[in-house]
Amino acid sequence: MDSPFKDDALKGKVALLTGGGSGIGFEISTQFGKHGASIAIMGRRRQALDAAVSALASLGIPAIGFEGDVRKPEDARRVVESTFQHYGRIDILVNAAAGNFLVSAEDLSPNGFRTVMDIDSVGTFTMCHEVLKYLKKGGPGRTSSSGGVILNISATLHYTASWYQIHVSAAKAAVDATTRNLALEWGTDYDIRVNGIAPGPISDTPGMSKLVPEEITNKSMDHMTLYKLGEKWDIAMAAVYLASDAGKYVNGSILPVDGGHWLSRPRHLPKDAVKQLSRAIEKKSRTAPVGLPKSKL
């Protein structure tokens, strides 16, 4: 689909993305590049990094990849420094690295729980912490009078509760809390805007292939508000909005991009039966005795 934004919406910006070599992260990388940004991708797999950088370069997008694990502060520091050395500035950080798998709470080991927390929540804070000096107003390489932008990719799982996702729900709740607190502190002190995007079920992503594999017969779309899965493009457009001047007064917000899926519930009554049942209930209510109920004593 064509973007509703101008091609130069992010012209001259440098964006560092964790998890930017695949899935939603790669689509954000691509759309940022198409809108004028230069891209740095951090990931653990060199082969995936090279493939992503090559794909971006084929579109004429300046891109570079750095191996690193967001769970390791030394890796985060090295990648941030390398990005600055390569481009001379950093304007946008997108934390899209994440871990996920289906598991019931009783079968989830503390180590498995900790691993997802380390990648999603601790890794997000670590990257934010390391990039702060380059994003804050007046920091190295900053030519504008404003600070930079941080986008944290979250989820809607923790808004209510989700089957077999206790580890991810806890991690994403921590990410949202981190987003709001940094928006308060760093927005006030350093003019850095910090926002989140909470994707719903997005087609053709590693997350969907893990959570709803082909082996599972799933009827969740029967209850979805818009009756369809989202696309990676939808998340990327939200990211372009929040990272560009179009979102210059948005700070501390978590934007759900899920078609209203987290609001969805199975329909317990067919629509055509609602009116008939409602009339019957109203009629019964009108013919009921008026006054205080009789005591049962």
As averages over each run of 10 residues, the pLDDT of the chain (297 residues) reads 94 97 95 98 95 97 98 98 98 95 93 97 98 97 92 95 93 98 98 97 64 49 60 96 97 94 74 73 70 59
Q: Which domains does the chain have, with CATH numbers?
A: 14-268 (3.40.50.720)
The pLDDT assigned to 278 comes to 74
As beta bridge partners, residue 151 has 94, 195
Q: How many CA atoms lie within 13 A of 78 on its CB side?
A: 13
- Please classify residue 164 by burial: count the beta carbons closer than 10 Å to its beta carbon, then call 0-12 exposed, 13-18 middle and 19+ buried: middle
Is the distance from CB of 204 to CB of 217 less than 8 angstroms? no
Indicate the residue type of 255: L
Strands (E), 139-234: 149-153, 193-199
Return the CA Rg of the chain: 23
Q: pTM of the entire structure?
A: 0.86
The pLDDT assigned to 83 comes to 98
DSSP 8-state code for residue 230: B
First to last CA, the chain: 70
